[in-house]
């Protein structure tokens, strides 16, 4: 079980949260910066992800690739991810390696080295990643790279976070340096530590490691507010590599900062609809040969701030799009009308709760959510709060969540066709 969370702010503006978790071995370290896809500017799409790569290319006292090598040498794991509102860099290592990891993180936070050659190399790496993961792969990036453009008006919310190749080609090393100084300030980040540690001692170690990192002004956050949604929107995209069509439906989620219970009800609804062979949508769509999944957010619960998306995706036989849409809408209408009974809701609650607490068993997951919760929601324990709200979800909550997902207000539907000429 986790202990109380220790929270402090260093002189340079870096926020530090630390938590001891009984029964764990090792420590998790996550540095989460308030910069992501939705912080990018037009003509520089994909830059946040590209910069994530640059953070492993060396700093004042760290050679390119040395960060990975040092963590792996001590038996740890290390990785990073870029999301719409944040970029996180995380490690899980034996306790004795904590100081080394903090020194590495402080070195690149304060003194990243950017050279044209390193930038060009990583830009080529990212472009190849796009070719492998998006353009050269069936359903690559579907629906998160394409559905937002149908659903939202603001460029920040709507554009493809992987980036357009032309935008990446137009960028240069000077852009990278400017991006670093603007967005990678200590005051724009949160350092989280958890696991087999003494929180006060861990904070003291962090204070010493980051003491030489100079303060810089934190940037102004982007305006992500969307105009009031008035009607349903529809779009079509093409994927020549896809073996059959697909349908994606997106609906706006409640703002977790102000309505965490409503948000939790959508987490449970996703399980009610598509978790297990007897889930509503899977049962309803099985005779048509369609597959279906649903999720709270493209990247999982609490991965981004508002606006966020509840998404349903179905891969189906050709010529069945209208039928699949009708079946999905019919099931949502049934649940919104109160058709789900107590047993069905309790099963979904149990699935959701089990999934959340299973994730908490991972130090990597726990430390990343601890950091992200502080950074995005100013609530370090928001993950635990969500789990408690999920436990309390009842039939009325499910009815309200289904009514929201079924409503045409603010909803977007995107049909993926396997080739340009498909109808």
Q: Which two tokens stand for residue 142?
A: 């579907």
What confidence category does residue 230 fall into, taking pLDDT thresholds of 50, 70 and 90?
confident
**Cα–Cα distance list, 126 to 41, 46, 52, 165, 213 (Å):** 18, 9, 10, 9, 29
Give 396's contacts (C-beta < 8 A, 6+ positions apart). none
Distance CA 3, CA 351 (A): 25
| Distance, CA of 418 to chain centre | 27
**Cα–Cα distance list, 211 to 96, 102, 106, 207, 375 (Å):** 20, 11, 9, 6, 20
Task: Examine domains 6-209 and 233-417 and report if their fold is the same.
Answer: yes
Report the pLDDT averaged over residues 318-330.
96
Average pLDDT, the chain: 95
Domain 233-417 has CATH 3.30.830.10: yes
Provide, rounded to the nearest whole percent, the portion of the chain with pLDDT above 70. 99
Distance CA 5, CA 27 (A): 15
pLDDT of 265 over the 80 cut: yes
| Paired sense of beta strands 246-252 and 412-417, if any | antiparallel
Distance CA 284, CA 306 (A): 31
**Sequence spans of domains, the chain:** 6-209, 233-417
What confidence category does residue 24 fall into, taking pLDDT thresholds of 50, 70 and 90?
confident
What confidence category does residue 5 fall into, taking pLDDT thresholds of 50, 70 and 90?
very high
Domain 6-209 has CATH 3.30.830.10: yes
Q: Helix, strand, coil shares of the chain as percentages rounded to 5?
A: 45, 15, 35
pLDDT of 365 over the 60 cut: yes
pLDDT of 380 over the 80 cut: yes
Task: Tell me the pLDDT tens digit for each residue of 70-129.
Answer: 999 999 999 999 999 999 999 999 999 999 999 999 999 999 999 999 999 999 999 999
pLDDT of 241 over the 60 cut: yes
Give the DSSP H or E segment for 315: strand 309-315
DSSP assignment letter at 11: T
């Amino acid at each position: 079980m986790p202990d109380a969370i220790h929270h402090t702010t260093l002189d340079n503006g870096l926020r530090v949260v630390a938590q001891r978790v009984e029964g764990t071995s090792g420590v998790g370290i996550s540095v989460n910066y308030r910069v992501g896809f939705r912080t990018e500017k037009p003509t520089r799409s994909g830059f946040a992800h590209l910069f994530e790569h640059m953070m492993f290319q060396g700093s004042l006292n760290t050679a390119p690739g040395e960060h990975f090598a040092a963590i792996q040498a001590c038996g740890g794991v290390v990785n990073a991810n870029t999301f719409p509102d944040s970029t996180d860099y995380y490690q899980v290592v034996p306790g004795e390696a904590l100081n080394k990891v903090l020194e590495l993180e402080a070195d690149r936070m304060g003194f990243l080295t950017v050279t044209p050659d390193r930038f060009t190399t990583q830009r080529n790496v990212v472009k190849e990643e796009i070719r492998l993961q998006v353009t050269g792969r069936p359903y690559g990036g579907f629906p998160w790279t394409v559905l937002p453009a149908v659903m939202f008006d603001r460029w920040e919310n709507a554009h493809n976070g992987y980036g357009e190749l032309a935008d990446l080609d137009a960028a240069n090393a000077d852009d990278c340096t400017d991006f670093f100084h603007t967005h990678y300030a200590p005051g724009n980040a949160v350092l989280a530590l958890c696991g087999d540690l003494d929180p006060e001692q861990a904070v003291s170690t962090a204070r010493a490691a980051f003491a030489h990192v100079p303060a810089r002004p934190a940037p102004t956050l982007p305006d992500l507010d969307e105009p009031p949604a008035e009607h349903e929107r529809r779009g079509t995209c093409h994927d020549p590599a896809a073996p059959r069509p697909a349908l994606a439906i997106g609906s706006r989620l409640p703002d977790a900062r102000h309505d965490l219970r409503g948000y939790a009800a959508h987490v449970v609804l996703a399980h009610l609809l598509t978790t297990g062979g007897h889930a509503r949508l899977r049962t309803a769509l099985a005779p048509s040969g369609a597959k279906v999944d649903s999720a709270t957010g493209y990247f999982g619960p609490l991965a981004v701030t508002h606006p966020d998306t509840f998404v349903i995706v179905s891969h189906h036989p050709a010529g069945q799009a209208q039928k699949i849409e009708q079946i999905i809408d019919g099931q949502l209408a049934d649940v919104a009308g109160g058709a789900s009974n107590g047993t069905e809701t309790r099963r979904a609650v149990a699935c959701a709760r089990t999934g959340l607490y299973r994730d908490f068993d991972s130090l990597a997951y726990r430390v990343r959510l601890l950091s992200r919760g502080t950074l995005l929601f100013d609530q370090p324990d928001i993950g635990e709060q969500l789990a408690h709200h999920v436990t309390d979800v009842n039939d009325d909550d499910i009815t309200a969540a289904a009514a929201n997902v079924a409503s045409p207000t603010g909803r977007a539907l995107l049909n993926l066709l396997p080739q340009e000429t498909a109808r």
